[in-house]
Amino acid sequence: MEEFTIQPPRTNYLNAEYGIKSWLLTKDHKRIGILYMGAISFFFLIGSLYAMAIRLELLTPQGDLTQSSTYNKMFTQHGIIMVFFFLIPSIPATLGNFLVPMMIGAKDLAFPRINLLSWYIYMLGGIITIYALLAGGVDTGWTFYTPYSTTFSNSYVLATGLGIFINGFSSILTGLNFIVTIHTMRAPGMTWYRLPLFIWSHYATSLIMILGTPVIAITVLLLAFERLAKIGIFDPALGGDPVLFQHLFWFYSHPAVYIMVLPGMGVVSELIANFSRKNIFGYKFVAFSSLAIAVFGFLVWGHHLFVASQSVYAGMIFSFLSFAVAIPSAIKVFNWTATLYKASISYDTPMLYALGFIGLFTIGGMTGLFLAALATDVHLSDTYFVIAHFHYIMVGGTLLAYLGGLHYWWPKVSGRMYPEGWGRFSALVVFIGFNLTFSPQFVLGYMGMPRRYHTYPVEEVSWQVLHVLSTAGASILGIGLLIPLIYLAWSLRYGRLAEANPWQLPGLEWQTASPPPTENFIETPIVREEAYEFAPPETKEVVGKFEREKPFPFYG
Amino acid sequence: MLMLLLQSWIPFIPESASTLSDDVDAVYFYISGVTVFFVTLISLVIIFFVIRYRRRNPFEIPRPVEGSTKLETLWSVIPLVISMTIFVWGAKVYFAQYRPPQHAMEVYVVGKQWMWKFQHTTGQREINELHVPVGRKVKLIMTTEDVIHDLFFPAFRNKMDVVPGKYTVQWFEATKPGRYHFFCAEYCGMNHSGMRGYIEVMEPAAFDNWLSGNANAASPAAVGHSLYESLGCASCHGANAEGGRGPTLLGVFGSNRVLNNGTAKADEGYVRESIINPQAKVVTGFGPIMPSFQGQVTEEQLLSLVAYIKSLSTTQPETTTAKPPATGTPQSANPVRSSSPTSPNR
């Protein structure tokens, strides 16, 4: 196998410079990706602790672990931390930051300084939000519905709002950077239709980031005006309209769901193609379905308002459009499945995560139909059904894709291999734990259990049974997430040294050393093939009775 | 029939007790069927492929397969068609849920952190409990004194937000006597999960009995009439609401009002707005001289005023009894689906 190994250069991006200053002032997109990785892991840990506390409280119908006011803060802060400080930046800011330039054969993002700035903005927003939590917390729900948030809540709404407002700019800058980079910095020969699907999905995500995020910034600003200066925008007692807030909020926050899941889809497209050694089935359909999702995603916000006194005709239009946005997602699922046909499928950890993603995302997507359909949404909205549905998308989708991607690119990022056996084992534990946590919640919602409930009726015995199952699942899920934390940290020091191309793949990021040099490629690569081109005829050779491909040329 | 079987055999299905709850369940089971079918199909296909096409030697490179426009079209069109059937069915049932019937028994609802206050048109008030007769259409006219709440009846598969500053409506017709939970489903602050109660669906005779047992309270219309006098409305609208400097209020409710800038139907929301924000819609021929009563009347008083003005338009006021009023279009005899003889278990 030594012919696959490219000798790592003496210096790489990790050891090019030493010292804390070399990290905090770095303009290297790879190092910034790692800064983000550390930060979002921290926020994920905090969000998970809230989740565990919530699950423990719900073991019994009574409120015996916390006060109602504490419980309300816990679910609010779980939502805010997970949505704004983990899910939205998760894949784009870490893997995207690291890989977008590498996959298109560029030395860095178009604006390295802005990239670093975006991390500082993220950290500033995060620190302000953490301050708000420590100072007393916030209890409005992550949705900040008015007039509760502007007039009635006595918690740290403004400080949290400021944190989210500031954090939004890091999202906008990242999106801007990706769009410009993808347009202008592709290597020679890297045409649009040769782009890996990871890039297409990040392009679509970036569009939503720069078009949608300003709206949430404006919305939070208006909220602050009303809360601070009593300017009547949302509170009817001041002459405002409370439902207007919901329109503005969901105009961003529904597309934000696609900010969270589209990069995950990009990761899964990479994993499915590469670990089955096939070109993705229907490349263009998968690529354009990302763009279709980004566009249609802006037109469906009203499906959060079916029981919020929106007009019945508006409800029908939003319901119709919500069904329309389901189609591109369905196309992706079918194409991933079809890619496996007559493939050569490996059972490595990243592939297990990718297969888990397809299953859970399919369930998450299909259960969205219950909420897009008007009649059933009336019953199910604001119940645990909604909770289960979006956790299937956010955790079963985004988190699994993130973990899959993390394992897949771990050799490239760290220069070390993770322990494969532990990887497969923890992927299985995560999958089982996740399903046990969230599938009972579909039933719970249909039974009528509203979300954001600190206590529930004792006489509803089945509710408690379902909650106990869910909490048991959450414990398993928690263990499944701790295992990778431990072995990935372990591998940084003790893991086997990674080859340049340990999976033997054609993607550009694998055609350079692991870990890569600061400039990514010693010489600018020239792209001559489509993405996922595993077996160009001229590189095939016969070894014994097997046909195999020749070692990949080092482009350039 | 199928529904009945499903409901009795599968645990974890909530009580179904309104004329529309079975319709909602039917849509629910249809989507469940579609979901189970596709999830199973995709899972089985993936499992089959993953086993059948597992990597057998480390060097194998599978033959590339190009995409197929025919297949792409197929699996775009099939989900589209299926989702359109769900859309149409869901919208159809929603339309019935959304549109309140005429000649329903009306109940006024005010949400407040953290309780539900109900008032029947005969004057009975209830907190966190609502008594209704079986087999009679009930229309809830709802608002809130503070933040947004949501009144959710799982057994009726129905919910609707109550929004400050306006009236929202939901209606149902219970089919099965019993005691069912209702909840606040829109997060409303500290004791949100305590903002729940019971709806007591009673046999008609029992309901009439309950109603007469609590008959000493003044009706909202009567309360509204005394408010009309004490707030000084009579000085412009006339001692008997016959009009003066302001327009007459006789026969106003339910009519189409010709305004300085358009027309409007005088429903509950119109009356409320005319009291709180009189300049918004001024009847043609009158000046914008009425002062706002914002902050001077509570939501419950407003509902009483609405009830009073409503009473000026209907010769036969809406009754709050188990039987529909004799006037108006004849009610279709809605058969009570459950023949359960159990009286409300209270």
**What is the three-class DSSP state of A540?**
strand
pLDDT confidence band for A549 (50 / 70 / 90): low
Reply yes or no on whether the pLDDT at B33 is more than 70: yes
Residue B120 φ/ψ, nearest 5 degrees: -80, 155
Q: Going by C-beta distance under 8 Å and a sequence separation of 6 or more, which residues neighbour residue A52?
A: A474, A478
Q: Choose the weakest-confidence range: A90-94, A178-182, A316-320, B7-11.
A: B7-11
Report whether pLDDT(A550) > 90: no
Given A312, A341, A342, which is nearest B98 (Cβ)?
A312
Backbone dihedral angles phi then psi of residue B243, each to the nearest 5 degrees? 100, 165
Least confident of A249-258, B17-26, B154-163, B331-340: B331-340
**pLDDT tier, B8 (very low <50, low <70, confident <90, very high otherwise):** low
Which residues, including other chains, have CB under 8 Å from residue A117's CB and lie 6 or more apart? A173
- Which chain A residues are closer than 8 Å to B45 by Cβ? 337
For chain B, how long is the longest CA-to-CA vector? 97
Contact B197, B116 (CB under 8 A): yes
Mean pLDDT of B172-189: 95
Residue predicted with more confidence, B195 or A549 = B195
Q: Give the list of residues 6+ apart from residue A392 with CB closer than 8 angstroms, or none.
A: A360, A361, A363, A364, A367, A438
Residue A315 CA to residue A330 CA, distance in Å, equals 23
**CB neighbour list of residue B33: distance below 8 Å, 6 or more residues apart:** none
Select the more confidently predicted residue: A240 or B332. Answer: A240
Say yes or no for a CB contact (<8 Å) between A242 and B165: yes
> Residue A494 carries which side chain, given as an amino acid letter?
Y
User: What would the pLDDT profile of A233-250 be if each residue is shown by its tens digit?
Assistant: 999 888 899 999 999 999
For B191, what's the count of Cα atoms within 13 Å in the CB-facing half-sphere?
9
Q: How far is A464 from chain B (nearest CA, A)?
A: 12
Phi, psi of B256 (to 5 degrees): -95, 125
Nearest CA in chain B to A311: B98
B61 vs A contacts (CB less than 8 Å): 277, 344, 534-535, 540, 547-549
CA distances from B108 to A26, A286, B226, B277 (A): 64, 52, 18, 21
| Shortest alpha-carbon distance between residue A367 and chain B (Å) | 7
What pairing do the DSSP bridges indicate for beta strands B105-112 and B168-173?
unpaired
Percent of chain A with pLDDT over 70: 94
As a whole number of angstroms, the distance between CA A379 and CA B133 comes to 22
| Residue of chain A whose alpha carbon sits nearest to that of B74 | A331
Total count of residues recorded for chain A: 556
| Per-residue model confidence (pLDDT) at position B9 | 54
Q: What band does A47 get if pLDDT is binned at 50, 70 and 90?
A: very high
Quote the CA–CA distance of B186 and B162 in Å, as a whole number: 9
Higher pLDDT, B287 or A251: A251
| pLDDT value of position B262 | 85
Minimum CA–CA partner of A273 in chain B = B64
Predicted ipTM of the assembly: 0.90
Residues of chain A with Cβ-Cβ distance to B154 below 8 Å are 379, 447-448
A526-543 pLDDT per residue, tens: 998 888 988 655 555 666
Interface contact A331-B94, CB threshold 8 A: no
Query: Distance from A292 to chain B by nearest Cα, in Å?
Result: 13
Whether pLDDT at B88 is above 90: yes
Q: Give how far the C-alpha of residue A374 lies from the chain's centroid of Cα atoms, to the nearest Å.
A: 28
Helices (H) and strands (E) in chain A, counts: 17, 2
**A301 falls in which pLDDT band (50, 70, 90)?**
very high
Residue A173 has pLDDT above 60, yes or no: yes
**Mutation choice for A interface testing from B97, B179, B186, B191 by most A CBs within 10 A:** B186
Token digits for B176? 């099965």
Q: Do B164 and A236 touch (CB under 8 A)?
A: yes
Confidence of residue A546 (pLDDT cuts 50, 70, 90): low
Q: Is A157 in contact with A95 (CB distance < 8 Å)? A: no
Q: Which residues of chain B lie closer than 8 angstroms to A141, CB-CB?
A: 187
Please give the Cα distance from A87 to A391 (Å, whole number).
Answer: 11
* Position A432 pLDDT exceeds 90: yes
List pLDDT tens digits, range A128-169: 999 999 999 999 999 999 999 999 999 999 999 999 999 999
A193-216 pLDDT, tens digit per residue, is 999 999 999 999 999 999 999 999
Q: Are A417 and A391 in contact (CB under 8 A)?
A: no
Residue B27 falls in which region: left (phi positive, over 0), alpha (psi -120 to 50) or beta: alpha
- What is residue B333's predicted lDDT score, i.e. its pLDDT? 42
Of A242, A382, A446, the CB nearest to B163: A242
Highest average pLDDT, of A12-16, A355-359, A544-548, B338-342, comes from A355-359
Is 90 exceeded by the pLDDT of residue B28? yes
How near does any CA of chain A get to the CA of B239, in Å? 30
Question: How far is Cα A411 from Cα A415, in angstroms, rounded to an integer?
Answer: 5
CB B160 within 8 A of CB B168: yes
Partner-chain contact B157 A277, CB within 8 Å? no
Instruction: Classify burial at B90, counting beta carbons within 10 Å of its beta carbon; exposed 0-12, middle 13-18, buried 19 or more.
Output: buried
Return d(Cα A463, Cα A444) in angstroms, integer. 6
The two tokens of residue B163 are: 């929004």
Higher pLDDT, B183 or B313: B183
- Beta-carbon separation of B27 and A345 below 8 A: no
Place of tokens 């015996």: A64
Pairwise CB contact (< 8 Å): A148 & B188? yes
Q: What is the pLDDT of residues A448-489, one digit of tens each?
A: 999 999 999 998 888 999 999 999 999 999 999 999 999 999
| CB-based contacts of A224-227 (< 8 A; 24+ apart in sequence) | A224/A158, A224/A161, A224/A162, A226/A146, A226/A150, A226/A151, A227/A149, A227/A150, A227/A151, A227/A157, A227/A158
Q: What are phi and psi of A454, to 5 degrees?
A: -75, -40
A-chain CB neighbours of B50 within 8 Å are: 340, 345, 347, 355
pLDDT digit string, tens, across residues B151-164: 999 999 999 999 99
Q: Is B149 helix (H, G, I), strand (E, B) or coil?
A: strand
According to the model, what pLDDT value does residue A7 have?
54
Task: List pLDDT tens digits, range B213-269.
Answer: 766 678 888 889 989 988 888 888 988 888 888 888 888 888 888 888 888 888 888
Residue-wise pLDDT tens digits, A79-106: 999 999 999 999 999 999 999 999 999 9
CA angle at residue A88 from A127 to A451, to 5 degrees?
90
What pLDDT is recorded for position B2? Answer: 56
* pLDDT number for residue A1: 43
Kindly give the pairing relationship between strand B158-162 and strand B149-153: antiparallel
- Residue, of A7 and A250, whose pLDDT is higher: A250
Residue type, A135: A
